[in-house]
Chain A
Amino acid sequence: MSNVATIVTLQNNTMESALEAILDKLASPDDVQGVLIADEHGLCLGGVLPEAPSNRFRHSPSAPSHPNYFTPHHTARGVAKPASAGSVASIALHARDLTSSPRDDDKFQYPTVCVETTNSTIIIRNEGAYTLAIFKEGQ
């Protein structure tokens, strides 16, 4: 098991490392259930299986502190399904169309969309190229 940990921590400088570091940081708070980033075509920049609660060894004393110990290196995290990237990007772009001022106006502000369900909130934002969605517990 410790050999696997060594291999994982040594795999550092791939072209998506910087992006993954940011997503890991966004997914680290306890109330964040998932993070997803989509490109301008509505395609998920990677893909991952949802992380079952039993796989969350982060707080186990025997597991190393690397957050991706049990998940493969992909750029969706947690409950965020890669297949929902298209819908997430679509929501963000439609919300942008609701703002009345044109995009090159100085006063143009990118909207943040919150989708609230009974138990969770999804926060979606697009600032030009990429769309970010954060799946949070509670409201």
Chain B
Amino acid sequence: MSSMSVQDAVETLSFPYYDQGLKAVAISDRDGVTLVKCLSSTASPSILEQVLPTTFAVANAQASKLGLKKNKSIVSIFGLHQVVQLDQSPLIITMVANAHANTGALLDLGNALKEITQVIVNAMQKQQAGNGGVV
């Protein structure tokens, strides 16, 4: 049985979407520390700014207070780009794509990535429990 690193798994899942306008995928925590980063060949690394997940963390927390249960995702569409972000507490999945890209398809990709990041989240929770709750 061969195992794949998380980086490779994210890369494999994201690859088909680069032709459809996806530029970059990042998995980070709420403070903007990046765990996994994938870029299409046409994207520059500076597209994934630290401000993206940190701002999402604030907006997500506030959106969860709208009385509609926990907020799951936020899509921001700008002139040239769109940013699709999903909450996978304590992690954040960020995708940057062209403005005209298929948002629905990107949300599908985000949900598929959630299955991968769930592995990391479970490991983090196990470790925290092992430390008696002290990080």
**Residues of B contacting A85 in the complex (Cβ-Cβ under 8 angstroms):** 104
Chain A, interface residues (CB within 8 Å), range:
10 to 19
Is residue A43 within 8 Å, beta carbon to beta carbon, of the partner chain?
A: yes
User: Is chain B's interface secondary structure helix, strand, loop, or mixed overall?
Assistant: helix
By beta carbon, the residue of chain A nearest B82 is A41
Determine the distance from Cα of A134 to Cα of B108 in the docked complex, in whole angstroms. Answer: 20
1/0 per residue A82-114: CB within 8 Å of B? 010111011001000000000000000000000
Task: Judge whether B107 and A86 touch: CB under 8 Å.
Answer: yes
Task: Judge whether A90 and B106 touch: CB under 8 Å.
Answer: no
Determine the distance from Cα of A43 to Cα of B104 in the docked complex, in whole angstroms. Answer: 5
Determine the distance from Cα of A66 to Cα of B18 in the docked complex, in whole angstroms. Answer: 45
Is residue B103 within 8 Å, beta carbon to beta carbon, of the partner chain?
A: yes
Is residue B102 within 8 Å, beta carbon to beta carbon, of the partner chain?
A: yes
Is residue B9 within 8 Å, beta carbon to beta carbon, of the partner chain?
A: no
Is residue B105 within 8 Å, beta carbon to beta carbon, of the partner chain?
A: yes
Is residue B20 within 8 Å, beta carbon to beta carbon, of the partner chain?
A: yes
**Residues of B contacting A42 in the complex (Cβ-Cβ under 8 angstroms):** 102-105
Interchain nearest-CB distance for B2 vs A (Å): 28
Task: Judge whether B108 and A93 touch: CB under 8 Å.
Answer: no
**Residues of A contacting B104 in the complex (Cβ-Cβ under 8 angstroms):** 38, 41-44, 85-87, 89-90
1/0 per residue B42-73: CB within 8 Å of A? 00000000000000000000000000000000
Task: Judge whether A90 and B103 touch: CB under 8 Å.
Answer: no
**CB-defined A-B contacts under 8 Å, sample of 10:** A38-B104, A42-B102, A42-B103, A43-B103, A83-B108, A86-B102, A87-B104, A87-B108, A90-B102, A90-B105
Binding site for A on B (CB under 8 A): 20, 77, 102-108, 111
Binding site for B on A (CB under 8 A): 38, 41-44, 83, 85-87, 89-90, 93
